[in-house]
Structure 1
């Protein structure tokens, strides 16, 4: 018998937790909830969940801090952030820390379930096409979900790695921000296109070296291109 997917929700509003629990369990998933940040972190390590839903504003430890800690421990477990503010800063910061998606309160539980399935579906699609790309001193290993530069591992959250892999798989092609959002985050993602700028900036910072024979170029007014530079 297939093991039920285990979902951990860290949210300080019991009413929201109870409502989400009804929908999550209806999908056949196991539901675990904690109302405080510190308790949420303890549950993460004790329960080893397959999916995490994090509120940003939590007692003791914020959702942002929990997200950072989870990503240090496991770069692959899907994370959806909940924000009551709906401000671009909250959304971008959550995605920058490694969250896969976000939902703004108040939300329809059906939307949350749909976004959870979208995140899982994209992960499954990646499972079917994992490969290794080697470019000069850069190696992108999708089987292990790891990036290496000059033989040293460069730690990247899933979305940064997936974006880099997509660029490297489509060298010398120009993509708009919306095209990149569609390919990496999915067509149902309605977030800010600045999400792409944040991820590109972090990729550049982590792989900043003059020895590379490629560059991640900004095409003004359009988007980005992964360009090979054989003369370097």
Structure 2
């Protein structure tokens, strides 16, 4: 039992999970170890990750206290923990915490924030995401915002890809072109219609892209949008 306890703070997730299982089997709670460690100032990647792996939703605020930490690995471990502790779609803290980290200077932290927010944002979030996707933002921040913009809706995905393709030297344009090809191969758009303002924006983007995409593709897309 003491050997297992001593392994709870291992950096290796495999060793840590085995130690957690042994502690549980012995009738003890590994989350209590991590709570005590963090509350007493023992803030390591293992203690933060461990609480995320074994704690309850009530522990999310204890992890939140780690978000100002100047070590990116600590922040990333905290957000990874949120993905488990705040898995309930009705828990508003996931969106609150995730939004605050979408412009984090660390790419791994932003990736974890994007995973946390996956499927939780809607049309009302589009403008904030577009602000994060502006060309003056760091590339990893832009990538994260684009991923979330595409998830808002099928039409938001099309709008985002066309917007990215509108600038010839856009570093995200190759990915946007691939994603647009995938969009065009899907047929689910036939059963939906974009909101009027989004349809108008998509049409405006298509007007400026005809020379790049070709008349056949732009005409097909206009018909799909305006159907």
Same fold (TM over 0.5): no
Computing the radius of gyration over CA atoms, which structure comes out larger, 1 or 2? 2
Instruction: Looking at secondary structure, tell me which structure has more helix per residue.
Output: 2
TM range (shorter): 0.3 to 0.5
TM-score by length of 2: 0.35
Which structure is richer in relative contact order (CA contacts within 8 A, separation 6 or more)?
A: 1
Instruction: Looking at secondary structure, tell me which structure has more strand per residue.
Output: 1
